[in-house]
Chains A and B, each alone.
Chain A
Amino acid sequence: MSSILQVTPAVLVDNLVVHYRRSKVNASSIKELLVDLFRIKKKMLRAQAHDGVIKALDGVSLEIQRGEVYGIIGRNGSGKSTLLKVLSRIILPTRGRVQIWGRVSPLLGVGAGFHRELTGRENIYLYSAILGRSQARTRELFDEIVAFAELEEFIDEPIRTYSSGMVARLGFAVAMAEVPEILLVDEVLAVGDERFKDKCNARFQEFTAQGSTIIFVSHNMHAVQEMCSRVSWIHQGKLLMTGDATTVINEYRKFIRREQDFVKSV
Chain B
Amino acid sequence: MTKENNIFYYDSNDRKNKLWIEIRELYYYRDLIWQMTLRNVTVRYKRSILGVLWTMLEPLLTMVVMAVVFTALLDRKIPHFPIYLLSGIVVWNYFAFATQSAMHDFIGGEQLIGRVYLPRSIFVVTAITTGLVNFLISFAVLLLIALATGAPVSVYTFLLFFPIVILTAFNLGIGLWLAPLQSYFTDTSSIYGIALRLLIYLSAIFYPIDALSPILQMVVNLNPVYQFIHIFRNPVYYGTSLPLLPMVYTTILAIVLLISGAFFFVRLSDRIAEKF
Contact = CB atoms under 8 A, between A and B. Distances in A.
Q: Do A and B bind each other?
A: yes
Interface of A: 1-2, 4-5, 8, 19-21, 23, 26-31, 33, 85-86, 88-93, 96-104, 106, 108-109, 112-113, 115, 117-118, 122, 125-126, 129-135, 158, 181
Contacts of A92: 12, 270, 273-274
A26 to B, nearest CB: 7
B36 interface: yes
Interface string B3-31: 01101111111000000000000001101
B31 A93 contact: no
B262 to A, nearest CB: 19
B8 A21 contact: no
Contacts of A91: 273-274, 276
B274 A132 contact: no
Q: Which of B47, B115, B276 has the most CB atoms of chain A within a 10 A radius of its CB? A: B115
A101 B116 contact: no
Interface residues of B, number: 39
Contact of A118 (B11, B13, B39): B39
Contacts of B191: 30
B31 A101 contact: no
B61 interface: no
B114 interface: yes
Interface string B245-273: 00000000000000000000000001001
Interface in B131-158: none
A93 B116 contact: no
16 contacts: A4-B5, A26-B184, A28-B186, A30-B185, A30-B188, A85-B276, A96-B12, A99-B9, A101-B4, A112-B112, A112-B115, A117-B46, A126-B35, A129-B29, A130-B112, A135-B35
